Amino acid sequence: MSKSHTIAIHWFRKGLRLHDNPALLAACGQATKIIPLFILDPHFANPGTVSPRRYQFLLETLSDLDTNLREKYGTQLYVARGTPNDVLPRIVSELKATLLTFEADTEPYARARDQALEIEMKSHGVKVEQHWSHTLHDITELANLCPKNKPPTVYQSFLKHVFHKAGSIPKPVPLPTSIDSLTLQEFQTFVTNVPDMSIEKGIPSLEELGYPAATPCAFQGGETAGLERMQSHLARKQWIASFEKPKTAPNALTPSTTVLSPYLKFGCVSARTFWYGLQEVYKTHKGPRSLPPTSLDGQLLWREFYYTSAYLTANYDQMKGNPICRQIEWIDPDTSIEASTHLKAWQEGKTGFPFIDAIMIQLKQEGWIHHLARHAVACFLTRGDLFINWEHGVRHFEWALLDADWSINVGNWMWLSASCYFYQYFRCYSPIAFGKKTDKNGDYIRKYLPQLKNYPKKYIYEPWTAPLAIQKEAGCIIGVDYPEPIVEHKIVSKRNMMWMKEAYAKHNANKNAGKKKRSSSGGSGGSGGSSSSSSSSSKKTKR
DNA sequence: TTAACTGTTGGAAAC
DNA sequence: TGTTTCCAACAGTTA
């Protein structure tokens, strides 16, 4: 079979795997020589926006990919430093490559980057091929199926009217049979004009990127570790078939869910491979299975839901100018000293509520917390207790989580803050009661807040209520060795519900005013006018 | 148009 | 110890 290209570059971004990688396979099918390339973009290689934990996970993933390319295909991963839109045109023209393949990406930064790149590549006479393999379906296809191209906000109707109309989910593609590449020496004889990309340096260490040295982590990055994790869970057929997310514990000492999210985020594990693995278990398992939304395949469907919603929503990651987001007058940490202190206490796990603080410490140490733990701390930061804008929560999670996924993270924050998708603001997580349901003894708190480990279980969730004698006996004085609670939950949560009620009333008033205006002006056709204008007048004083 | 129904995962008290 | 009931009551969908 003759191939129409001599040299192709397969650019790894997400999709950091060899299995089910249609873009890589397309490169192998069309070109004689393939350059597997990763680019360390300074936009991401940045201690301010990516935690050391997640960067370590990424570097482990790159290292695993490199090893697999060497051992299975006799090639390697080439790692360049620089901005992709600068690096790629230079490499392409040095190597005289005529094909560039990569996996499609829906995030705004990636969309803008890829669009500019595609134009640039065309001017070099390079064919660009994007393949959809990060999600179950091509997100643009799902977006096109959305009625009036409106972002979905209700899961069940998304499934009914959008997802189930998209046809069957593409089957994972096979591994490449071979990947013929260039040796580093050959590569370097081609690439003579780009010394600053440091390709010969290979995969960097954390220190090279300005991070502290790597430390042991519960979750090892990479396709190999990800597939092993997936397989070991798929082998527990009864557990897989009966899985119901709301029934798993946020404060289990070993994770009560799969922790495949970091691997799905980086594409170490293919969502489709996991999907079909699950379907195989459901098919062969005797007895009933749980169903979406709470089942494991239901979790993958949530992912499609948020990706589609994010793709169709302008200004998705902010409140202002975001058409699906309630406009709420949150207390601003930039102008309120108290709110800024509160935000900092929340980030550092020093709120004085052990359940909240233990979660925030686990997040910092391990880079992963259970979904319901995310609920508890997100509710606490926003409508539950501190009444701080969810955007601050997004930013902290975006920095700290191994699985930080823009579409899902932002969506969950809007959900929890009752800004979109979920509106029952009077249902509020208690920072004291919620954790007790699954951990009466407070073992989770004892693990992550060792200063409290000797507290009697009666007081472990609210240590400030313990008599001084007991505090002394436990070796931890509240206000000295562990903070006093920064707010009185009962009082602020009631106050916040009132504020939420006001914000909702205002929203409805604006909506109705908009309706009236439209009907009186004779329905001039122009849609979506309701986005702005809610927060203008009448400033409440909140401090 | 209206009204009933539904929405992945609440808390606290009563049984 | 586990299940039921009340609390106070929103938005989006469907009949």
Averaged over successive runs of 10 residues, the pLDDT of chain A (543 residues) comes to 90 98 97 96 88 96 98 95 92 93 97 97 95 97 94 93 94 96 80 72 91 90 98 96 92 95 98 98 92 94 97 96 95 96 98 97 96 96 96 97 97 96 94 93 96 95 95 97 95 92 88 64 37 34 39
The reply to whether A165 has its C-beta less than 7 Å from any atom of strand C is: no
In angstroms, the CA of A309 and the C1' of B6 are apart by: 21
In angstroms, the CA of A304 and the C1' of C13 are apart by: 20
Which positions in strand C are less than 7 Å from the protein's CB atoms? 8-14
State the DSSP H helix or E strand holding residue A189, giving kind and residue range, or none if neither. Answer: helix A184-190
Q: Which of residues 395-434 of A touch strand B (CB under 7 A)?
A: 415, 421-424, 427-430, 432-434
Residue carrying structure tokens 């991963």: A77
Closest alpha carbon to A417 in A377, A378, A386: A378
In angstroms, the CA of A18 and the C1' of C9 are apart by: 51
With beta carbons less than 8 A apart as the criterion, state whether A542 and A498 touch.
no
The reply to whether A153 has its C-beta less than 7 Å from any atom of strand C is: yes
pLDDT at A515: 60
The Cα–Cα gap between A513 and A114 comes to 41
In angstroms, the CA of A512 and the C1' of B10 are apart by: 31
- 3-class SS at A3? coil
The one-letter code for the residue type at A136 is: L
In angstroms, the CA of A356 and the C1' of C14 are apart by: 40
pLDDT at A201: 84
Q: Which two tokens stand for residue A25?
A: 């396979």
The reply to whether A157 has its C-beta less than 7 Å from any atom of strand B is: no
With beta carbons less than 8 A apart as the criterion, state whether A397 and A409 touch.
yes
State the DSSP H helix or E strand holding residue A101, giving kind and residue range, or none if neither. Answer: strand A99-103
pLDDT at A45: 80
Q: Nearest 5°: phi and psi at A22?
A: -60, -30
With beta carbons less than 8 A apart as the criterion, state whether A7 and A31 touch.
yes
pLDDT at A278: 97
pLDDT at A187: 78
In angstroms, the CA of A377 and the C1' of C5 are apart by: 28
With beta carbons less than 8 A apart as the criterion, state whether A59 and A204 touch.
yes
In angstroms, the CA of A528 and the C1' of C14 are apart by: 24
pLDDT at A288: 87
pLDDT at A519: 57
pLDDT at A185: 80
Which residue(s) pair with A331 in the sheet? A388
Establish how many alpha carbons lie within 13 A of residue A273's alpha carbon, considering only the half-sphere containing its beta carbon.
26
The Cα–Cα gap between A424 and A418 comes to 7
DSSP secondary structure string, A208-274?
A: GGTPPPP---SS--SHHHHHHHHHHHHT-HHHHHH--GGGS-TT-SS-SS---HHHHHHTSS-HHHH
pLDDT at A325: 95
Alpha-carbon distances of A477 from A78, A189, A354, rounded to whole Å = 54, 67, 14
Which positions in strand B are less than 7 Å from the protein's CB atoms? 6-12
The Cα–Cα gap between A272 and A17 comes to 13
Closest alpha carbon to A211 in A51, A330, A340: A51
Which nucleotide lies at the shortest CA–C1' distance from A421? C11
Which nucleotide lies at the shortest CA–C1' distance from A501? C10
pLDDT at A192: 65
The Cα–Cα gap between A205 and A200 comes to 14
Q: Which of residues 294-353 of A touch strand B (CB under 7 A)?
A: 294, 298-299, 302
Within 10 A of A204 (CB to CB), how many other CB atoms are there? Answer: 17
